[in-house]
């Protein structure tokens, strides 16, 4: 088949999408108003078609069309698709920009990007002078269920709320084009769900354009495997595999989409499926004789791009495709040909855990509306079936009606700092779409104060201005900056990178293999010379980097090569950010302590909020005022060494039946003695005055404009 006929067929294909019939009206609606809400079923063609239509209608004569996606995978794959449809090379007219990967050129006029990327652009150019249209896509998805990199969490997940608020503030008066813009900006907000009235009301009652959907019925059945008592069970992955094989051997042709929660779980399930599928005897077992094989494809955020492409390709004839995915396949990506859904009922979600007083990634039951969205993916082209592995009772008792927006569930530290650096001083009255509780805002202010990112009056400090540049947790950023000021960033940058990607340690399911992997990991920890999990990360990073055959080295040591490769790339990016900052006014410190303590002392400046002291026996007690009882996680190299230690810092917490601390490092009390009082120094209510100064709106606007003007516009190539 020649190249052009293939492209033509893509163009035809897109004419069958529901959005196609509304093309002219849709273009007119965008032209007619500043804000427009567009809604339509997932798969109706919003993300791929609307930007193309606007391009065809000449809306990018005076500026670019920018489309944001909450997830990098979506931004990349969609841009690929649209470039194909528009018959251009990716990176020319159609391009994308995501963190660590800029595929655009001066000729790019349709630009897909992550939310974080657009926010960076607003930081540098508050009126977005290069754009004629900005499309905020997937606005219903205001929680980042799939974690691409942990690095994303702290800045990206709430960005849609910030972006909406900022755009509303800046462009809500069409009569007044902001200074620096010659033409008014058009803002399109797209969503798949029925929250459109709320969105329209938020945007000053703007028009709503609804693309009528066409969905086929999906029959849902409940299972027997997971009931309300199994909330913390991990057995559901096995059950999902069993059901998938049942479907494969007993149902008519049609592809399967399985919903699980995260990368390692998905890979394990795929291994298991593969093993079992190998032994199926197709002569007797399969009812529908046209199905003679199973093609198993994982799908999660940090997957390499070439593998992602395979997901969209139809399977060879006679082969059934089975995609095992995170929630990313619920709304962000549409895979054609799916007829069967297998729903685990769980999702990985970032929650604020009041028991330990911090945000943690947890596997939690999905909401009923989420379950319906998942089921709907089976009915796009014909009637489908959805197999829920949980019981009806689980549905009734354990699943909430709706998912709570992330901004109302998680710590706002990075968001508040970003807002402050954007010149938004009054962070309480900022127009959030879903206003977070005031106490969370105050909690964030308190943390920022503890890290010295803001002063007592709530103004951003020099350190705060440096901190906001890093797409990392503020504590980790502070440790990196401390190290850099002492000239030893080589110790901290790799660690920050390693903590920003998926877990690099492979833990196989098979007990024998598990033992072998554990042994290798212990050897790696010992090699680092000290019983300190941060040092192990550094040592793994360095050993692999200096190895002649890094992928073989990883295989040998049960290390995730792909995750480590991402860590290498993250480290380079962080180093570039640091270099850029160091060219300006960068602090210089001296260290007169013992050299061997340098690494841990730097860590302490960022992790003094995560200090634990031995309580009794193997139990430790946190020092942040919550006084939670915590245990070392078995994955820690300190797990067996507890007896000699009294004080530790830790990176994060895992809550199951117990509270575990992970990535642990022994410290001396003297190192944190002077920092700990800071944890209790300010009362959050003292800061509430700071957050809500009694000033008039006019004064506020003046102040904000002045602050914004102080910020030198600069082109930033990295995306958070």
Q: Which two tokens stand for residue 669?
A: 């009390």
Select 77 or 148, whichever has its Cβ closest to ligand ADP. Answer: 77
Nearest CA to 320 out of 338, 293, 287 is that of 293
Select 46 or 409, whichever has its Cβ closest to Mg ion. Answer: 46
Smallest distance, Mg ion to C-beta of residue 46, A:
5
Select 329 or 364, whichever has its Cβ closest to Mg ion. Answer: 329
User: How many angstroms separate the Cα of 698 from the Cα of each of 164, 172, 414, 703?
Assistant: 21, 16, 27, 8
Smallest distance, ligand ADP to C-beta of residue 214, A:
12
Q: Which two tokens stand for residue 116?
A: 């974080």
Burial 79-107 (b: 16+ CB within 10 A, else e): bbbbbbbbebebbbbbbbbbbbebbbeee
User: Residue 447 in contact with residue 474, Cβ under 8 Å?
Assistant: yes
User: Residue 417 in contact with residue 467, Cβ under 8 Å?
Assistant: yes
Select 55 or 633, whichever has its Cβ closest to ligand ADP. Answer: 55
Select 77 or 557, whichever has its Cβ closest to Mg ion. Answer: 77
The count of chain residues that interact with Mg ion, using the rule CB under 5 A, is 2
Smallest distance, ligand ADP to C-beta of residue 314, A:
10
Nearest CA to 416 out of 449, 389, 392 is that of 449
For position 55 contacting ligand ADP by CB under 6 A, the verdict is no
Q: Which stretch binds ligand ADP (CB under 6 A): 43-51, 252-260, 433-441, 690-698?
A: 43-51
For position 78 contacting ligand ADP by CB under 6 A, the verdict is yes
Instruction: Please write down the HEC assignment for all residues of 241-307.
Output: HHHHHHHHHHCCCCEEEEECCCHHHHHHHHHHHHHHHHCCCCCCCCCCCCCCEEEEEEECCCCCHHH
For position 46 contacting ligand ADP by CB under 6 A, the verdict is yes
Residues ≥6 apart with Cβ < 8 Å to 116: 99, 152, 155, 156, 159, 471, 719, 720
CA dihedral 442, 448, 451, 457 (to 10 degrees): -90
147 in helix, strand or coil?
coil
Select 77 or 605, whichever has its Cβ closest to ligand ADP. Answer: 77
For position 17 contacting ligand ADP by CB under 6 A, the verdict is yes
Burial class (CB in 10 A: 0-12, 13-18, 19+), 411: buried
For position 391 contacting Mg ion by CB under 5 A, the verdict is no
Select 19 or 691, whichever has its Cβ closest to ligand ADP. Answer: 19
Q: Which stretch binds Mg ion (CB under 5 A): 47-55, 366-374, 412-420, 624-632?
A: 47-55
Residues in contact with ligand ADP, shown as a per-residue x/- string from 327 to 366 under the rule CB under 6 A: -------x-x------------------------------
Using CB under 6 A, which of 80, 353, 373, 557 touches ligand ADP? Answer: 80
Using CB under 5 A, which of 47, 148, 373, 391 touches Mg ion? Answer: 47
For position 47 contacting ligand ADP by CB under 6 A, the verdict is yes
In the sheet that holds 218-221, the strands lie side by side as 218-221, 384-388, 338-343, 255-259, 319-325, 293-299
Using CB under 6 A, which of 34, 48, 447, 609 touches ligand ADP? Answer: 48
Select 47 or 77, whichever has its Cβ closest to Mg ion. Answer: 47
Residues in contact with Mg ion, shown as a per-residue x/- string from 7 to 46 under the rule CB under 5 A: ---------------------------------------x
For position 68 contacting Mg ion by CB under 5 A, the verdict is no
Using CB under 6 A, which of 30, 36, 45, 120 touches ligand ADP? Answer: 45
Q: Which stretch binds ligand ADP (CB under 6 A): 52-60, 74-82, 609-617, 691-699?
A: 74-82
Q: Which stretch binds ligand ADP (CB under 6 A): 72-80, 125-133, 542-550, 648-656?
A: 72-80
Smallest distance, ligand ADP to C-beta of residue 43, A:
5
For position 42 contacting ligand ADP by CB under 6 A, the verdict is yes
Nearest CA to 384 out of 430, 444, 335, 337 is that of 337
586 conformational bin, left if phi > 0, alpha if psi -120 to 50, beta if neither: beta
CA 542 to CA 530: how far, in whole Å? 15
User: Residue 249 in contact with residue 286, Cβ under 8 Å?
Assistant: yes
Phi/psi of residue 49, each to 5°?
-90, -45
Select 47 or 196, whichever has its Cβ closest to Mg ion. Answer: 47
**Across-strand partners of 209?**
38
Name the residues that contact Mg ion, by CB under 5 A. Answer: 46-47
| Residues within the interface to ligand ADP (CB under 6 A) | 17, 40, 42-49, 77-78, 80-81, 312, 334, 336
């Amino acid at each position: 088949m020649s190249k052009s006929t293939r492209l033509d067929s893509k163009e035809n294909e897109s004419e069958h999408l529901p959005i196609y019939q509304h093309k002219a009206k849709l273009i007119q609606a965008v032209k007619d108003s500043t804000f427009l809400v567009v809604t339509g079923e997932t798969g109706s063609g919003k993300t791929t078609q609307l930007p193309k239509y606007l391009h065809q209608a000449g809306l990018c004569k005076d500026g670019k069309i920018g489309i944001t996606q909450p997830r990098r995978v979506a931004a990349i794959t969609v841009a690929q698709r649209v470039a194909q449809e528009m018959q251009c090379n990716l990176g020319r007219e159609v391009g994308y920009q995501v963190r660590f990967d800029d595929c655009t050129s001066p000729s790019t006029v349709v630009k897909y990007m992550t939310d974080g990327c657009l926010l960076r652009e607003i930081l540098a150019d508050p009126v977005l002078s290069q754009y004629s249209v900005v499309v905020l896509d997937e606005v219903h998805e205001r929680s980042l269920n799939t974690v691409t990199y942990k690095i994303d969490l702290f800045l990206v997940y709430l960005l849609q709320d910030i972006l909406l608020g900022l755009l509303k503030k800046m462009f809500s008066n069409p009569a007044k084009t902001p200074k620096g813009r010659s033409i008014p900006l058009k803002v399109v907000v797209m969503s798949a769900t029925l929250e459109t009235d709320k969105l329209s009301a938020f945007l000053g009652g703007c028009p709503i354009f609804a693309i009528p959907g066409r969905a086929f019925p999906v029959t849902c059945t409940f299972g027997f495997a997971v009931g309300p008592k199994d909330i913390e069970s991990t057995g559901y992955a096995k059950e999902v595999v069993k059901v998938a094989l049942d479907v494969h051997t007993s149902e008519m042709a049609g592809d399967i989409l399985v919903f699980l929660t995260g990368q390692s779980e998905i890979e394990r399930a795929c291994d298991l499926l593969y093993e079992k599928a190998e032994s199926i005897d197709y002569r007797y077992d399969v009812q529908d004789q046209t199905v003679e094989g199973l093609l198993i494809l994982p799908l999660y955020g940090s997957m390499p791009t070439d593998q992602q492409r395979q997901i969209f390709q139809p399977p060879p004839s006679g082969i059934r495709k089975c995609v095992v995915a995170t929630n990313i396949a619920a709304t962000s990506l549409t895979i054609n040909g799916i007829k069967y859904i297998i729903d685990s009922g769980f999702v990985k979600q970032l929650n604020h855990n009041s028991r330990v007083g911090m945000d943690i990634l947890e596997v939690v039951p999905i909401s009923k509306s989420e379950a319906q969205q998942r089921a709907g993916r089976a009915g796009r082209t014909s009637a489908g079936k959805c197999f829920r592995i949980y019981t009806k009772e689980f549905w009734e008792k354990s699943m909430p009606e709706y998912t709570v927006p992330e901004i109302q569930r998680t710590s706002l530290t990075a968001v508040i700092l970003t807002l402050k650096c954007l010149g938004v001083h009054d962070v309480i009255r900022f127009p959030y779409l879903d206003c977070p509780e005031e106490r969370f805002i105050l909690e964030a202010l308190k943390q920022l104060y503890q890290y010295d990112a803001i002063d007592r009056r709530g103004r951003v400090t020099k350190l705060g201005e440096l901190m906001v540049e890093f797409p990392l947790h503020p504590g980790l950023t502070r440790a990196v900056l401390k190290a850099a000021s002492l000239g030893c960033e080589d110790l901290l940058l790799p660690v920050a990178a390693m903590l920003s990607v998926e877990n690099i340690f492979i833990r196989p399911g098979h007990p024998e293999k598990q033992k072998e992997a554990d042994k290798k990991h212990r050897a790696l920890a010992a090699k680092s010379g000290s019983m300190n999990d941060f040092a192990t990360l550094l040592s793994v990073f360095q050993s692999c980097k200096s190895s002649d055959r890094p992928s073989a080295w990883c295989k040998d040591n049960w290390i995730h090569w792909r995750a480590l490769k991402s860590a290498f790339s993250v480290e380079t990016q962080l180093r570039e950010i640091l270099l850029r900052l160091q060219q300006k006014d960068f602090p210089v410190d001296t260290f007169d302590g013992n050299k061997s303590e340098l690494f841990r002392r730097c860590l302490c400046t960022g992790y003094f909020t995560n200090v634990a002291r031995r309580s009794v026996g193997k139990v430790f007690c946190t020092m942040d005022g919550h006084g939670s009882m915590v245990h070392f996680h078995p994955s820690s190299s300190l797990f067996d060494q507890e007896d000699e230690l009294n004080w530790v810092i830790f990176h994060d917490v895992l809550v199951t039946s117990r509270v575990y601390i992970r990535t642990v490092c022994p410290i001396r009390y003297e190192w944190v003695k002077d920092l700990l009082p800071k944890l209790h120094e300010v009362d959050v209510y003292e800061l509430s005055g700071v957050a809500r100064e009694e000033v008039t709106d006019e004064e506020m606007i003046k102040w904000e404009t002045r602050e914004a003007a102080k910020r030198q516009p600069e082109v930033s190539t990295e995306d958070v």
